[in-house]
Chain A
Amino acid sequence: MSAAGSRLPTTTARAVVVAAVVGTVALAAHEPVVVAAVLGGTALAATTVGFDGSLRRVALASALLPTVVLGTLAVVAQSAGPTAVVLVFVGVTLGLGIGGVVVGSPSSAALRRAGIAAGAAAAVVVAGGLFALGLETSAQSQSPVDAAIWLTRDGLSGLFVGIVVAALAVAGGLLAVPPAAFATPASHDARVAARDALVRSVVLGGVVLAVGLLLVAAVGWVFPLVVAVADSAIVRGLLALVTASGLGLAALGIVVRRSWPRSSRENAIIPIVVGGVCGIVLLLGLAVGVLGWSVVTPLSTGTVVALGVGGALAWYVGILGKDGLPGPVGVIAGALAAGAVVLGALADGGATGLEAVRTGTTPFVALAASLLVYDLGRYGRGLAYEIGPEGATPRPQLVRFAWSATVAAVGVVVAAVGLWSATLLEPTLSVPATAGVLAGVVAVVIGVRFLLR
C-alpha cells in the first residue's frame, strides 16, 4: 500500500480535538486562563495558515497577525505566578496544535511570510518609537503630533524646507517603486519615461513653489498672507502627510525591489508588508484612542518583543523547513503531557483520601488526553498514508477512538482509585513505596504479555 496523503482524516482529527479539549478543561481546572491561552494559540495558528492562501487572504492575515499576537501576549500577561505562566505557555502551544489539526499546518512558505509580516510590523513600531524618541529629546514642549508637523521649524524657512523635503520624499518614493509594478514588458519604456517626467515635475514644482513663496513674500502687502500660510497647521500637516507617504512608498519600493528578483511568480511581499503595517498602525491607533497615550510605551515594547522574536523564529523555521519538527498532533500530546507533569509535580503531596483523588484527577485526565491524542495521531497518520482522507470512512475511526478512549479512561479510574486507596491505607505513603507498586504493575504487564505470546 503506497502513500496516499499526510493530513489526518476528518473523523480522527475531530477526535483529537475532542481529546485536546478534555485535556484543556483539566488544565483549566487548575488555571482558568489556560482556556484563553488555548484560544489565542488557535487563533495564531489559523492566522498563520492564512499566509498560504490567496493574496487577499495573505493581506488579511498580515493585518490580523499583530492583533492576534498582542492579544495572546495580553493573556500571558494576565497570569500570576510562575506556574500560571508555564501553564499559559502550555495553553498557547496546545492552541497552536489544535489550530494545526483543525485548519492544517502552515507550510514553510507561510511561516516565512508570517515572519516577514511580523518583522514589518515590528519595524514600523521601532521606526515610530525612534522618531518619537527623537522628538522627545528635542526639548520641545509639544505633543508628538505637533512636533512632527512642525519638525521643519515655523516661519517661511520652515515652510520652504517642508515643501522641498516633501517633494524629494515623493520623488524618492516614485523612483523606488520597481517599474514592473506599473508596467508590462511591452509598455516598460513608455511608462518609465512617464514616471521620470512625473518625478521631474514633482521636484521642479516643489522647488518652484518654495522659491516662489519666498519671492512673493518680498512683496509688502502679500507678506502677512504668506506668513499666515507658513504658520498654518493644516498646511504643515498636509506637508507632513505627503512627506510620510513618500517615505513609506520609498520604503515599500525598496523592500519590493529586494524581494522580487529572488522569488517565484507568486510573490506576496506587497500584501504582506502593506497588511502588516496597516494592521499594527490600526491596532496602535485604536489602543491610543481607547486607552490614551499611556499605553503606547508598554504596548510598543510588547509588540516589538513579541513580533520581533516570534517573527524571527517563524522566519527561521520557514527557512530551515519543518523537517524534524513535530506535527500538530505531537504538539498537542507534548503540551498536554507537559501540563500534566506540571500539575502532578505541584499536587499536594500530603493530601489523603478524596482530597488526594481531587488533586490527582486533573493531571491524570490531562495525561490520559495526551496519551489518547498520541495514539489517535499514530492511527490517523497511518490511515492517511495508506488510504488518504477521502477514502477513510468515519466508522473504523470512531471504533478506534472508542477503544483508545476506553483504555485511557480505565487508566484514569484505576490510577485515581489506586491513589485514593493507597493514601487511605497509608497516609504517609512514600514515593519509594509508590514506585514499588508501579514496579509490580510493570511486572504483571510484562508477565501477561509473555504468557499470552
Chain B
Amino acid sequence: MTDRGVHRLDRGEWALVAALALAGLGLATGSQVLVAAATLPLWYVAATVFGTRPSPSIRVRRQLAVGDTFESEATTENATEGGESDGPAGDPGDTVTVRTTVENVGPEPLVDLRVVDGVPDALPVSSGSPRRCATLEPGAETTLEYAVELRRGEHAFEDVSVRTRDLTGTVAETGTEPVLGDDALRCSSAVERVPLGGGTNDYAGEVPTDEGGSGVEFYAVREYASGDPVRSIDWRRYASTRDLATVEYRAERATRIVCVVDVRSSQHRAATAQLPAVELSASAAERTLETLLAAGHPTGIVTLHNRLLTTVSPGTDPETRRRATELLRAVRESESVDGVRARTLTSDPIATLPRTLPGEAQVYLFSSFVDDEALELVERLRTLGYAVRVVAPDVAHADDVATRLEALDRDTRLARARALGARVVDWPLDRPLGLVLHDAIGEVGGR
C-alpha cells in the first residue's frame, strides 16, 4: 500500500465527558447509583487503549467488460502490476461491468477493511457500488461488482483507496493500492466505412455517377461524335463493322457532405433512461465525420437549434476538422463554442436550413424524429433534390403507454421519410452505432 497515513479516530473524549457529567449529577443529587454509573463510560475510554495500528497486506485485481461477459481469468492473472492496457472499448451509453477483487494476502485478519475503487470522474456508476467495507480472514477475498455508463473518450481507472480499522475502531490506516488487470476504457472507435449517397458536384472525385465520362468503369457505347478522343474509339467494333463508336466510362464526381445535427429542445425532452437523443446524435455525427474526412470527402456540420443555426462549412483541412469536432463536443456537453459561424433566426429554422446548404451536397440528418419538424425538414430537402440519409436514435423506447404512443408516431414519421426517398437508419440503442451505420446505411448510391 502506498501513501500510507495512520490516524487515531477516537480518544474516548466523549465517554470521559459523559462520565464526568454523570458523576457531577450523582454528586449534585446525592445518588450513589449515578456516581457508580459514571464508571460505565470510562470503559469506553479504556477500550481505546487497546487500539493498535493495523498493517494490511492486500492484492487487488480489476476486470472490465462491456456488457456483463468477462474474459477468462487467465488474462488478468498474467497482467503486470500497474501495467498499462488498452482495455475494452464500447460505444457511448454502453454499460461496462467492473469487477474488482480484493484479497487479504497478509497473515492477520482485517476486521474492518474499506475499499473505494478509482472510478474515472467522467463515468457515472449506473448500478452497484464501487465501495465496500468487509472483514477478510487471511487468504479471503471480497469482490466489488458495479456498472458504469460509458462516455466518449479514453478513461483511466485510478488505484483503489484503502482504509483499515482495528477491532476497537480507534486507529485507522489510509492509503492507496495498485490494481492488477484492466485499468482503462476506450470509447472512440471510428466507423469503418460510411457509404455515400448520390449527390455530387461537377468536379472529378470518387463517387460514381449515372453519366458517362472519364472513369474506369464501363458505362456505355455511343455513336462517334466529332472531337471524341481517339483513345475512346471502340476499335474492335470498327474492325468488325467499319462503324466508329465511342466507349464511355462511368463518370466519377466529387461530393460535399453536410451532417445536420438536430439539437432542438425536443431532442432533450425525448430522453429516457438512456442518453438524451442530442448526445447520441452528436456522437454518431462525430464518428461519421471522422470517417468521411479520413476518406477525403469535404464534410461540414450544421447544428439545428430552435432559433439558431451553427455551421462549419464542408472541407477536409485540419482547421475544419478541429472546428467541427469542437462544435459537436459542445453540443454533447450543452456548451457554447467560439469560432463557429452562428446564425440567429427570426424565421422557421426548418425553412431556412435548406437555403444554407451547398446546392449539390449530400445531407446526413441526425435526429430522433420525436416531432414532426424533422420530417418536414426531410421533405423540404428532398423537394430541393438533396440526397438525404437519416440516422435516428430510438429514444422512444419504454414500457409506459405515453412512450409507446410516442414510438408509434415516430415509426410513422420514419416510414414517411423513407417514402420521400430518404435512406433511414433507425438506431436501436442496444446495437452498437458502428454496426448500425455499417449495416444499415447501405451501398453506395449512384446519381
Contacts and interface: CB of A to CB of B under 8 A. Distances in A.
Interface of A: 1-2, 4, 337, 340-341, 343-345, 347, 349, 356, 359-360, 363-364, 367-368, 371, 374-375, 378-379, 382-383, 386-388, 390-393, 395-396, 399-400, 403, 407-408, 410-412, 414-415, 418-419, 422-423, 429, 431, 434-435, 438, 441-442, 445, 448-449, 452
Interface string B151-174: 000000000010100011100001
Contacts of A368: 40
Contact of A399 (B36, B112, B161): B112
Interface stretch (B14-22, B218-226, B235-243, B399-407): B14-22
Given A345-B33, A403-B168, A431-B27, 4 more contacts: A360-B33, A392-B133, A399-B135, A408-B43
Contact of A364 (B40, B49, B128): B40
Contact of A371 (B27, B40, B116, B128): B40
Nearest to A449: B49
B40 A438 contact: no
Contacts, number: 168
B46 A387 contact: no
B39 A435 contact: no
Interface of B: 9-10, 14-15, 18-19, 22-23, 25-27, 29-49, 111-114, 116, 128-135, 142, 144, 161, 163, 167-169, 174
Contact of B38 (A379, A386, A422, A438): A438
Contacts of B131: 4, 386-388, 390-391
B372 to A, nearest CB: 19
A414 B133 contact: no
A363 B40 CA distance: 11
A429 B32 CA distance: 8
A387 B142 CA distance: 15
Contacts of B49: 445, 448-449, 452
Contacts of B29: 345
A396 B35 contact: no
B133 A344 contact: no
Contact of B19 (A341, A364, A399, A442): A442
Contact of B39 (A347, A403, A441): A441
B253 to A, nearest CB: 53
A400 B134 CA distance: 12
Contacts of A375: 44
Nearest to B50: A452
A307 to B, nearest CB: 35
Contact of A412 (B40, B46, B129): B40
B39 A411 contact: yes
A347 B33 contact: yes
B207 to A, nearest CB: 51
Contacts of B48: 449
21 contacts: A1-B116, A345-B31, A347-B32, A364-B33, A368-B40, A371-B41, A378-B10, A382-B9, A386-B163, A387-B131, A390-B128, A391-B129, A391-B133, A393-B134, A407-B44, A408-B43, A438-B23, A442-B42, A445-B46, A448-B46, A449-B45
A135 to B, nearest CB: 53
Most-contacted residue by chain A among B33, B39, B48, B111 (CB, 10 A):
B33
A345 B130 CA distance: 50
A411 B132 CA distance: 32
Nearest to B14: A374
Contacts of B142: 393
Contacts of B10: 378
Contact of A434 (B36, B43, B46, B144): B36
A412 B19 CA distance: 14
Contacts of A412: 40
B46 A349 contact: no
